[in-house]
Amino acid sequence: MITKRSKTTANNKPKQSIPPTDTPLVRSPAVSTTAAAFAVAQPLTSAEFLHELEQQRTQQRSSAAVEELAEVIMAAAAPAPVTDAPASPPGSPRAHEIIKLGIDVHLDRYVVVRQIDGGAPQPPQRFSPTQFVQWAKKQTELAKRVYSCYEAGPFGYSLHRKLTALGVTNYVVRPRDWDEYGKKVKTDKRDATQLVLHLDRYVAGNRDAFCVVRVPTEAEEQRRSRSRQRQSLQNEKLRLAAQGRSDAWYYGGPLEGEWWIEANWKELVLPPIVLELLDPLRRVILAIDEELKTQTQAIIEVAPKELPIGLGKLTYEILEREICDWDRFTNRRQVASYTGMCPREDTSDQRRFQGSINKHGNRRVRSVLVEASWRLIQFQPTYKPVLKWLPVLSNAKTTKAKRKQIAVAIGRQFSVDWWRVRTQRCRAEDLGLKSKPAPAVVPPTPRTEAKKAATTTEKTVKLHVCHNEDPQKIRMKRG
């Protein structure tokens, strides 16, 4: 038989002692009602329970007050958000090191994404052009350095100059497709975000993040705009001339050449409806032609008098105004790349393929160089690239496509050689380019004047012969 004492010893659990009923219960304020219930066997009275509950509520209120005070102190010590922070007064330390702005420019609004220091890009913001300039000024007061970028486009460089005046380091970048993964989603928000992300890489030292466009000076930009306007007028003239030929062919009438010239216009034999359609086009073409003559004369007047034979004053001026500054290039590869006349290349392992030109450059420079190369082939046989390709050009079996490729190759090499000449790395004579000196001004003599008058009379006779008029009648008229 197991007694109660042996059972307690076997379990090794000491028996809890119960105080006598007449012993008063002394409770600590930190002891809860539940803990007191487990500490004693007797339940609490109503008065004791209410007393303990009031103590707990008092402790909770005091702890909550302490937590609120701590939060207020931490909030006062923490920096205020950047979006709501007031501008720092001049001379005070900036709140941030770098702020970067990616700008998607439109006519009436700018979509801007901001990145502060090394953080993530913030949600896009929309501004009017005036509001954005004011907001950009505030950014210069919030950070030590502010960078921005936007794509080159039809709005020119006025925004760049405004940002530069505010102290912002701005980059005008070459437009590109920012959808690198082919998601087929293009929005202003995505473009601005990609701009600021690539700007972050560029500022960090990755110069391949995007292609920076050189911003011309105001004088260079104005000179270039004049030559480009002349080219636009020339294109419009060609378009109207083609429109006239199209109208004539529509009614079965052949129309070739410069049909709007007075001499050719009188000889046209076409249906009345065709002449009625051509007459307004002719008037517009004649007006454009007069303006073209005026602008061309103004351009070639500022060109130097001594130039290589075949280059031409107009070609020289267009090249100078498009390039703006030849010192912008540091090596020949940059010059050739700017012309867009380098061949495409697909090389992998032991395989190499070169195709047509990539046209990755200034198209106006490219067309001018191709025109100049054909004249150099004709007038500069001692020029080194022409001398290299002359046996192939003189071969009757050379195809037309091959001749065009040679002209492009000569134009590309001439751009590099002319860069060397303009930057004084060599002379034109060293490259085999012959220059035609300006003719000397000789005072006219009586014999020279008589010879000139005789030549004029002979030309007049030939001109009338071309118009089927009897030379004998001309002499009789002159008496």
What CATH number does residue 137 fall under? 3.30.420.10
- Asked if residue 78 is part of any domain, the answer here is no
Which tens digit of pLDDT belongs to each residue from 389-438? Answer: 999 999 999 999 999 999 999 999 999 999 999 999 999 999 999 987 54
Which tens digit of pLDDT belongs to each residue from 292-342? Answer: 999 999 999 999 989 999 999 999 999 999 999 999 999 999 999 999 999
Same structural domain, 132 and 222: no
Contacts of 336 (CB under 8 A, 6+ apart): 342, 412, 415, 416
- Indicate the average pLDDT of the chain: 81
Task: Find the DSSP H helices in 251-362.
Answer: 262-266, 272-300, 313-323, 332-339
The DSSP-derived string for 166-226 is HT-EEEEE------TT------HHHHHHHHHHHHHHHHHT-TTSSPBPPPPPHHHHHHHHH
Which tens digit of pLDDT belongs to each residue from 330-380? Answer: 999 999 999 999 999 899 988 898 889 999 889 999 999 999 999 999 999
Q: How many CB atoms lie within 10 A of CB 264?
A: 13
278 contacts 248 by C-beta, under 8 angstroms: yes
Same structural domain, 325 and 295: no
C-alpha 29/C-alpha 24 separation (Å) is: 16
Angle between helices 272-300 and 218-250 (to 10 degrees): 160
Same structural domain, 394 and 337: yes
C-alpha 140/C-alpha 99 separation (Å) is: 8
**Within 13 A of 448's CA, how many CA atoms are on the CB side?**
4
Which tens digit of pLDDT belongs to each residue from 172-212? Answer: 999 999 888 888 899 999 999 999 999 999 999 999 999 99
What is the Cα 136 distance to its own chain's centre?
A: 20
Same structural domain, 429 and 455: no
Q: Residue 170: is its pLDDT beyond 70?
A: yes
Domains in the chain, number: 4
C-alpha 305/C-alpha 422 separation (Å) is: 16
Where in the sequence is the domain holding 458, given as residue range(s)? 446-478
- Asked if residue 186 is part of any domain, the answer here is yes
Q: Which helix (H) or strand (E) holds 308?
A: strand 307-308
C-alpha 297/C-alpha 230 separation (Å) is: 11
Phi-psi region of 326 (alpha: psi -120 to 50; beta: other; left: phi over 0): alpha
Q: Residue 231: is its pLDDT beyond 80?
A: yes
Q: How much is the pLDDT for 265? A: 93
- Asked if residue 10 is part of any domain, the answer here is no
Same structural domain, 225 and 243: yes
C-alpha 172/C-alpha 156 separation (Å) is: 10
Same structural domain, 146 and 240: no
Burial class (CB in 10 A: 0-12, 13-18, 19+), 459: exposed
**Within 13 A of 249's CA, how many CA atoms are on the CB side?**
8
Reference 79, options 100, 95, 99, 67; nearest CA is: 95
Using DSSP bridges, classify how beta strands 343-348 and 169-173 pair: parallel, antiparallel or unpaired: unpaired
Same structural domain, 405 and 314: yes
Same structural domain, 312 and 401: yes
What is the Cα 165 distance to its own chain's centre?
A: 20
Q: Give the CA-trace dihedral at 407, 411, 414, 416, to 10 degrees.
A: -130
- Asked if residue 70 is part of any domain, the answer here is no
- Asked if residue 90 is part of any domain, the answer here is no
Same structural domain, 106 and 171: yes
Which tens digit of pLDDT belongs to each residue from 434-462? Answer: 987 544 444 444 444 444 444 444 443 33
- Asked if residue 426 is part of any domain, the answer here is yes
> End of a domain among 204, 227, 261?
204
- Asked if residue 369 is part of any domain, the answer here is yes
DSSP label of 76: H
C-alpha 357/C-alpha 370 separation (Å) is: 13
Same structural domain, 368 and 466: no
Reference 405, options 419, 417, 416, 392; nearest CA is: 392
DSSP label of 354: E
Reference 425, options 438, 433, 416; nearest CA is: 416
Residue 59 pLDDT level (bands cut at 50, 70, 90): confident
- Asked if residue 7 is part of any domain, the answer here is no
Same structural domain, 223 and 195: no
Same structural domain, 138 and 192: yes
